[in-house]
Structure formats: C-alpha cells, structure tokens
Amino acid sequence: MRSTLIRRGDERWTFSWRFSHLLMDGWSFTLAIQDFTDHYRVLCRGGQPTVPPGRPYRDYLSWWRHRDPEEAREFWRKELADYRPVEQVHLGGTEIPEGEPTHAHFEQVLGELAPRLNALARTEQLTLATL
C-alpha cells in the first residue's frame, strides 16, 4: 500500500491511497478506511491512536493445517445445495458483444438506485462491489 498527501493550495489537499486488490478485498478496505478515519480523528484532537497487536500469521497456518477438508466440503455442499444462478442484471449502457475485447472506461451513475443497492448489500452481507 502507498499513500500520498498532496498540497494543492493553502487549504486544499488531495489524499491518494493505492493498493492491490490481491492484498485487500471489499471487507478489508472498509475496515482499513474505518481505522484510518478513527486514527485521523484522534490525531486531530491531539491524541495518540492506539493499535491493538495483530494476531500472528502462524495462528492462521496452524488452523489451516488442522482443519478437516471433508468437513469444509460438506459445509459448502449444504450451503450451496439450493443455489440457483442469478439472472443477469443490465443497468443500462451499451452491451459489449461477447468475445469482443474492450479497454474502455465504463461508469454507471446509480442515482436513486444507490440507496436500494446499498441496503441490499447490507442485508445480504455483501460488499457493493460483489453485488
């Protein structure tokens, strides 16, 4: 991860935060933003933010080595037993013919749909990007 604070004027700043999606998914990003804003608020009040110690990676490796793969398979078999593919949702814009490569920038303005999508994501415990 890299972050940069760029001064654009006496009272104007731009904060740039770059990271790889290999390192941080939607859930992690939300947690990182929350930590960042919490620490920023503490610093603005003259305080010193505290960071709890992280859990050692070896704990995860130990869990991974001792898990039961068959139990995990059975869990996912049951979890996905009633799975039905979701119909493709088309939100507008121009459809790209299958197989045709494209590198165009696409931006969809959600407008009034945004609050409903956010609510659905929360209800289904998904990130908006996943939805």
For the chain, the domain total comes to 1
What's the pLDDT at 108? Answer: 66
Tokens encoding 61 = 């490796």
- Is 131 inside any structural domain? no
pLDDT tens by residue, 68-118? 999 999 999 999 999 888 777 777 777 767 766 666 655 566 777 888 888
- Is 75 inside any structural domain? no
Alpha carbons 87 and 85: distance in angstroms, whole number: 6
- Is 53 inside any structural domain? yes
What's the pLDDT at 126? Answer: 82
Q: What is the CA radius of gyration of the chain?
A: 21
Residues of the domain holding 31 = 1-68
What's the pLDDT at 73? Answer: 95
Q: Write the DSSP symbol of residue 18.
A: E
